[in-house]
Structure 1
């Protein structure tokens, strides 16, 4: 059965990876560089995306580079994941359903010394995939309106290197440097009375961002963690084509012309988390993160960036007193919840997000390798003028493989 789980998980993840170009669609990805993408490793999606204070031994913790300082010696870890998402979009007048299959991440980690570890990962940072038809918008300082039709694809990728060092048996520090790169293709049509303006633009982005993390074990059952994501400026460049149609006459204003575009600013983000184990069976995690988008002093044509608060609560259950010779006694169970106030404000209304999740960890053979399966249900936005509510069901599959390096066999 364990071999069947292994081969089935590989087949499913390879299938999902083949759909990696079909990144999630959302009307809110119209803003900035797209909707921020959650690509958590291992069992983290099952626990409401909590884990700043986690020190796992069977998967890579992407939320805090300091956790690498607690990596088991001689172990090489590989983590790959994919997602299937079914979303219903609702407005005041209609609803629409879409299904997407996505690549989530690819990462590996290994110990450098007895007290330090290193990891490399590639994952999406943001996703821009939207299509909006005949959206009626008011003209400023006027009683007139215009209609917007828009479509776009693209987003940013996150390629990061992380290192964690354990200074004492209880205290670790970590740092992560991420290269953010990618582009967004955007097509917009503005209709005002009998005049139509078509604008096609392609914007390229690239820049670096650093994250500093720490973890401190108060005792064997209680750990606290902190993360600081430093603010940074992502360089932008754009080429665009502008055409107008008036009285059936086409006029080309610009054709693939480089033009000025504002750089994109990442905010200072501060996170704190706690992890507590009870009676060697139940682990409870709680995270809080503050993102200071107001300090970036940037806005979008149709909305504003505002400070974001994020709360995450997670539970993990594995009875360490059980007989681990039995396969079913080694299965771990998870549950969690997540809420964030959102970083976008449109017409004075926040685009917040809330979700709940459950999951299991299925061991593979007699090793630390496992298949993590999680299901989550969530809601984003609200039904009101100018806003859309998203109801989504998400199935995440993360395959965490563990290998032992440089250990001599005792029996040939």
Structure 2
């Protein structure tokens, strides 16, 4: 297991070399950015349904599922995103590669523990405009950064049918947005840089219920709740007088720190997720989940943003998996886990009176790696967010996600050395 983790970390570091920006969406300008984390790759491949108990995969959405682990699990995942953004008059393409999560789960009897790192939200956009004036003004807007979560959690098997759990998360990160303006007829231009240092705590509580309907079929249900919390933003603003060099680089002629920029807070919305599922364990399962987020409490980083606000959000997920023969020794393909799902959500962001929605279809595979416990999980997602109406942006995206779930038994004393 240790060798597997070392190899995985080497892959992670090579992967992270490309993970400079986790999104290319202009919608990431608002709030704390574009919330990217929607579960591990195996649950995302089922539309985000996280109701199913699993003894060899980490569930990072409901901490109560940590009590279902039978083996120590090391999990990491990343996503390659290909996005085509368009308005009524323009169209652009962007590609991004980013880390999704890095976590470890450890079972100890009826208890299960987990800890790890999740890049939670991302800011990453570049927008250029040119006015129609006689001496046109060139404007460039860009943003980078995001919010990460370090978490630690535990789940406990209260009875044979009921698990409970909780985790605590520390949020941290930096968000930087830049506004640049200049005219060709004027020697100098101006650049405004806004920087926010993000920090704060939040928690998640969960419960699951599982029972046998008969000798073959089982019923599952889950509940997850995250209370409303806050993140603090230490804000800074600088104004630069700039000049473009002959090779196109930017030279700062003069810089001034703006006084009186107050630190602010952004409320993270409370979240309630309810899920239910039915099926035959290690054969097939189908489930549905609905998530309610009180995003109407969310505000933007700076109060001088006009025309955009947040309303309460709702997400609907439907999905499941199928395994032809979990214990097959004659056919590798029969041991593969085949997953599929759909997702629809009102993101909670409202721009110019229009609610921004996100719809996606998902599919994926769990490929056994060196046995039946460790797996390479591959997920495919195709979806659309936003609209070209109201002079807004429609994003059509295709995501390819790859993750490792390495399972082994730890802390077992050897009888023969």
Secondary structure of 2:27's aligned partner: helix
Secondary structure of 2:389's aligned partner: coil
1:207 aligns to what?
Answer: 200
Report the Cα distance in structure 1 between the residues aligned to 2:62 and 2:253, rounded to whole angstroms.
53
1:143 aligns to what?
Answer: none
Shift of 1:408: 4.5
2:231 aligns to what?
Answer: 234
1:389 aligns to what?
Answer: 394
Secondary structure of 1:365's aligned partner: coil
Question: Which of 387, 402, 412 is equivalent to 1:407?
Answer: 412
Secondary structure of 1:352's aligned partner: strand
Secondary structure of 2:65's aligned partner: helix
Report the Cα distance in structure 1 between the residues aligned to 2:139 and 2:356, rounded to whole angstroms.
20
Report the Cα distance in structure 1 between the residues aligned to 2:338 and 2:9, rounded to whole angstroms.
21
Q: Is the Cα–Cα contact under 8 Å of residues 17 and 82 in structure 1 kept in the other structure?
A: no
Shift of 1:321: 7.3
Secondary structure of 1:22's aligned partner: coil
Against the structure 1 CA distance between its residues 20 and 328, is the aligned structure 2 distance closer, same or farther, given a 3 Å change threshold?
same
Q: Is the Cα–Cα contact under 8 Å of residues 90 and 383 in structure 1 kept in the other structure?
A: yes
Shift of 1:45: 2.0
Report the Cα distance in structure 2 between the residues aligned to 1:235 and 1:277, rounded to whole angstroms.
44
Q: CA RMSD in A?
A: 3.1
**What are structure 2's unaligned runs of at least 5 residues?**
132-136, 243-251
Report the Cα distance in structure 2 between the residues aligned to 1:257 and 1:154, rounded to whole angstroms.
23
Question: Which of 128, 131, 150 is equivalent to 1:133?
Answer: 128
Report Cα offsets for 1:112-149 as digits up to 9, x if no partner. Answer: 3x11100011011110011111288xxxxxxxxx9863
Q: Is the Cα–Cα contact under 8 Å of residues 19 and 96 in structure 2 kept in the other structure?
A: no
Report the Cα distance in structure 1 between the residues aligned to 2:326 and 2:141, rounded to whole angstroms.
57
- What is the TM-score normalised by the length of structure 1? 0.86
Shift of 1:197: 5.6
**What are structure 1's unaligned runs of at least 5 residues?**
1-5, 137-145
Shift of 1:111: 1.2
> Is 1:186 aligned with 2:177?
yes
- What is the TM-score normalised by the length of structure 2? 0.85
> Is 1:304 aligned with 2:309?
yes
1:70 aligns to what?
Answer: 68
Report the Cα distance in structure 2 between the residues aligned to 1:85 and 1:320, rounded to whole angstroms.
32
Q: Is the Cα–Cα contact under 8 Å of residues 77 and 402 in structure 1 kept in the other structure?
A: yes
Question: Which of 163, 166, 191 is equivalent to 2:157?
Answer: 166
1:275 aligns to what?
Answer: 277
Report the Cα distance in structure 1 between the residues aligned to 2:260 and 2:409, rounded to whole angstroms.
52
> Is 1:117 aligned with 2:116?
no
Report the Cα distance in structure 2 between the residues aligned to 1:135 and 1:44, rounded to whole angstroms.
43
Report the Cα distance in structure 2 between the residues aligned to 1:65 and 1:333, rounded to whole angstroms.
24
Report Cα offsets for 1:52-86 as digits up to 9, x if no partner. Answer: x22112210111000011111xx211001111111
Against the structure 1 CA distance between its residues 229 and 223, is the aligned structure 2 distance closer, same or farther, given a 3 Å change threshold?
same
Question: Which of 62, 83, 90 is equivalent to 1:87?
Answer: 83
Secondary structure of 2:264's aligned partner: coil
Against the structure 1 CA distance between its residues 280 and 235, is the aligned structure 2 distance closer, same or farther, given a 3 Å change threshold?
closer
Question: Which of 55, 58, 64 is equivalent to 2:56?
Answer: 58
Secondary structure of 1:125's aligned partner: strand
Q: Is the Cα–Cα contact under 8 Å of residues 41 and 379 in structure 2 kept in the other structure?
A: no
Secondary structure of 1:312's aligned partner: strand
User: How many residues align structurally?
Assistant: 393
Report Cα offsets for 1:2-25 as digits up to 9, x if no partner. Answer: xxxx99998865543321223221
Report the Cα distance in structure 1 between the residues aligned to 2:396 and 2:7, rounded to whole angstroms.
29
Q: Is the Cα–Cα contact under 8 Å of residues 83 and 103 in structure 1 kept in the other structure?
A: yes
Report the Cα distance in structure 1 between the residues aligned to 2:230 and 2:97, rounded to whole angstroms.
31
Secondary structure of 2:61's aligned partner: coil
Against the structure 1 CA distance between its residues 17 and 355, is the aligned structure 2 distance closer, same or farther, given a 3 Å change threshold?
same
